Amino acid sequence: MFELGWPWLLVLLPLPILVWWLCPPYRQQVAAVRVPFFALVAQALGETPSEGAAVARKHPLQWILASVIWILLVLALARPQWFGPPVTKTVSARDLMLAVDISGSMDQADFKAPDGRVLRRLDGVKGVVDDFIAHRQGDRLGLILFGTRAYVQAPFTRDLAVVRSLLAEAEVAMAGEQTAIGDAIGLTITLFAASKAEQRVLILLTDGNDTASRVPPAKAAEIARRHGVIVHTIGIGDPAARGENRVDLDSLRQIATGTGGRMFDAADGAQLGAIYAEIDKLTPVKLQSLSWRPKLELFHWPLGAATGLALIALVLPLFRRRAEPAHV
């Protein structure tokens, strides 16, 4: 649809007529040299002198060009614009952070994939989490990898391909051999501080118990609750194991319930996939629609046309002079 950004400037269209009507032509008297034999000179040249000044008449085409140029200039000043059809973009009102444990215990090969294969814990988790990320269309997603320390691998973004690529590059013990669950939660809270999403969700996936956090997980969960962050915890380790390899399900349950989330125990890939489906039910996607109309500025078209016609108007008198016959 065509519109004018500043239509009120069209009032300038009759301005040249008002100037011509209100402002008379400029007249100036100058001294002249009187020639006693002027009549003889005029007779010799074959001219018939007359009283008053001689004003060259403009060609009608020049008047037409001047009028069209002025109209085009005023039209350019009025900012002609073309608006396209409305464009609607639907985005999620949820920010989702994934915190994945890559401590040394994730190197154990006891993860049962849905097809029956036994994989390393990290490799099995990568496959299921990658599929989960691929279905997060509309969500802003972030990725934290943690071991002895927690690191932001991907800040919140809607570029899911980047998050999937960074997850695929993760390796065991990249962040240290131990497990810092509390630090991962604390880092997530920091990232959510600038979020304006209605839903703030952390999915914490670990196969061990906390052995390296500077902030106790319970304290970090309390801070998360105050900041409106819901934490869902997923334990994939063996509760009967000893040391760092033992997953502390009670601690993970306390973290989740304290923030309004839920704790899940995933023994294999099939259960882990079902857990992500359950999380979708617990935190339904809330969508926001953003609408706008693409705008294209068109002022350069009348401006360019006016410039071209002005050049023609300047060159036109030159052709007229060449066409006039020479006096001998």
pLDDT in tens, 92-133: 668 899 999 999 888 888 787 777 788 888 988 898 899 889
Distances (CA, A) of 200 to 142, 224, 249: 11, 10, 23
pLDDT band at 198 (very low <50, low <70, confident <90, very high): confident
Q: Report DSSP state, residue 3.
A: E
CA–CA gap between residue 142 and residue 138 (Å, rounded): 13
pLDDT band at 290 (very low <50, low <70, confident <90, very high): low
- In this prediction, residue 278 carries a pLDDT of 79
The predicted model gives 76-86 an average pLDDT of 86
pLDDT in tens, 209-228: 788 888 899 999 999 999 99
- Cα atoms found within 13 Å of the Cα of residue 50, Cβ hemisphere only: 4
pLDDT band at 154 (very low <50, low <70, confident <90, very high): very high
pLDDT band at 158 (very low <50, low <70, confident <90, very high): confident
pLDDT band at 258 (very low <50, low <70, confident <90, very high): very high
Q: CA angle at residue 291 from 288 to 294, to 5 degrees?
A: 150
- In this prediction, residue 66 carries a pLDDT of 85
Going by C-alpha positions, the residue among 224, 288, 240, 227 that lies closest to residue 91 is: 288
Distances (CA, A) of 92 to 58, 140, 155: 67, 7, 16
CA–CA gap between residue 202 and residue 223 (Å, rounded): 13
- In this prediction, residue 238 carries a pLDDT of 67
Taking residue 213's Cβ as centre, other Cβ atoms within 10 Å add up to 22
- In this prediction, residue 294 carries a pLDDT of 81
Going by C-alpha positions, the residue among 63, 79, 94 that lies closest to residue 3 is: 79
**Residue 268 confidence (pLDDT) above 70:** no
Q: Domain-by-domain residue ranges, the chain?
A: 1-23+57-85+294-328, 89-289
Q: Report DSSP state, residue 105.
A: G
**Residue 323 confidence (pLDDT) above 60:** no
Write the Ramachandran bin of 97: left for phi over 0, alpha for psi from -120 to 50, otherwise beta.
beta
| Topology classification of domain 89-289 | Rossmann fold (3.40.50)
Q: What is the mean pLDDT of the chain?
A: 82
Token representation of residue 14:
């009759």
- In this prediction, residue 327 carries a pLDDT of 47
Instruction: Mean pLDDT check: name the lowest of 39-53, 115-129, 257-271.
Output: 39-53
The predicted model gives 263-290 an average pLDDT of 74
- In this prediction, residue 98 carries a pLDDT of 95
